[in-house]
C-alpha cells in the first residue's frame, strides 16, 4: 500500500480512537455493503423490466422502488 495512503488511514483511525486494522475492516465492510446493494438493485431491474431499453429515469425509478422495498 502506498505510504501516503497508510498515513491517511492512520490519521483517520487515530482521530476515531481506532487502529489501522479496524479502520480498514470497517471501510471494506461498508464498500461490500454498497456493492451488495447495487447488485440487488441491478438484479431487481433485470427481473422487473421487460422493455427493450431503459432510460435514466426508468432506472432511477426501479432503484427507488427497490430501496423502498428493502427498507420495509
pLDDT above 90 (res 46): no
CA distance 14 to 64: 37
CA distance 2 to 68: 40
Per DSSP, the residues of 14-59 read HHTT--HHHHHHHHHHHHHHHHHHHHHHHHHHHHH--SS---HHHH
pLDDT of residue 24: 97
Residue 59's domain comprises 3-70
**What average pLDDT score do residues 30-59 get?**
86
CB contact at 8 A, 16 and 23? yes
**What average pLDDT score do residues 17-22 get?**
97
Q: Comparing C-alpha atoms, which of 26, 22, 23 is closest to residue 12?
A: 23
The answer, as to whether pTM is greater than 0.85, is: no
Task: Look at the chain and report how many structural domains it folds into.
Answer: 1
Amino acid at each position: 500500500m502506498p505510504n501516503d495512503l497508510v498515513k491517511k488511514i492512520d490519521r483517520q483511525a487515530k482521530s476515531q480512537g481506532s487502529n489501522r486494522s479496524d479502520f480498514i475492516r470497517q471501510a471494506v465492510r461498508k464498500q461490500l455493503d454498497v456493492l451488495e446493494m447495487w447488485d440487488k438493485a441491478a438484479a431487481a431491474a433485470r427481473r422487473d423490466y421487460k422493455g427493450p431499453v431503459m432510460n435514466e429515469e426508468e432506472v432511477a425509478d426501479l432503484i427507488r422502488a427497490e430501496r423502498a422495498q428493502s427498507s420495509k
